[in-house]
């Protein structure tokens, strides 16, 4: 079974457009992944900094029995 030339051309155009769209989306995903990784590193650094500050600010509470014991 043969396809008319215009139908084949239409399919080729669609395939080319889809390939272009896939390439664009792939590029966007790669850029978003870089942003996510950068944000994760910043979050990790802030978490470490917060924990350090929390340790410095919080006095150690001795473990004692409550007064009613």
Token pair for 59: 């006095």
pTM over 0.75: no
Taking the alpha carbons at both ends of the chain, their separation in whole angstroms is 94
For the chain, the maximum distance between any two Cα atoms, rounded to a whole number of angstroms, is 95
- Tell me the pLDDT tens digit for each residue of 18-57: 999 999 999 999 999 999 999 999 999 999 999 999 888 8
Instruction: Return the SS3 of 36.
Output: helix
| pLDDT for the residue 31 | 98
Q: Residue 17 has what pLDDT?
A: 98
């Amino acid at each position: 079974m043969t396809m008319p030339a215009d139908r084949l051309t239409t399919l080729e155009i669609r395939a080319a457009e889809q390939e272009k769209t896939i390439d664009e989306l792939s590029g966007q995903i790669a850029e978003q992944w870089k942003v996510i990784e950068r944000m994760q590193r910043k979050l990790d650094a802030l978490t470490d900094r917060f924990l350090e500050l929390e340790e410095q600010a919080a006095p150690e509470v001795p473990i004692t029995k409550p007064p009613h014991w």
